[in-house]
């Protein structure tokens, strides 16, 4: 995997997961408007991270749309073979 995309993937997917957890807790905790906005923004970050992950493995960024399936889409991307296996840092 390309080093630049690896860093971007880790940041974006991590922020996406943390943001979705925070947004969902706000939805049930009494601030539904703000919780919905945070959850939606976090989902966008997660999908963007999946796009970077697909690109870093040598596929088109459109394959990152599997991020719409949440963790299942990320797992599909994880198991795809890496076309940039010999990339150096």
> What are 1-36's pLDDT values in tens digits?
878 888 989 999 999 999 999 999 998 888 889 999
Q: Please state the domain extents for the chain.
A: 3-78
Q: What percent of the chain has pLDDT over 90?
A: 71
Q: What percent of the chain has pLDDT over 70?
A: 97
Q: Closest by alpha carbon to 77, among 89, 58, 8, 28?
A: 58
Task: Quote the pLDDT of residue 87.
Answer: 62
> Rounded to a whole number, what is the distance in angstroms from the first to the last CA of the chain?
10
Q: How confident is the prediction for the chain on average, in pLDDT?
A: 90
How far, in Å, CA of 33 to CA of 65, rounded? 26
């Amino acid at each position: 995997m390309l080093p630049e995309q690896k860093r971007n993937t880790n940041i974006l997917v991590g922020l996406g997961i943390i943001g979705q957890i925070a947004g969902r807790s706000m939805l049930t905790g009494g601030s539904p408007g703000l919780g919905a906005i945070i959850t939606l923004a976090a989902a966008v970050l997660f999908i963007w991270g999946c796009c970077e992950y697909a690109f870093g493995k040598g596929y088109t960024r459109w394959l990152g749309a599997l991020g719409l399936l949440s963790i299942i889409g990320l797992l599909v991307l994880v198991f795809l073979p890496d076309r940039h296996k010999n990339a150096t840092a």
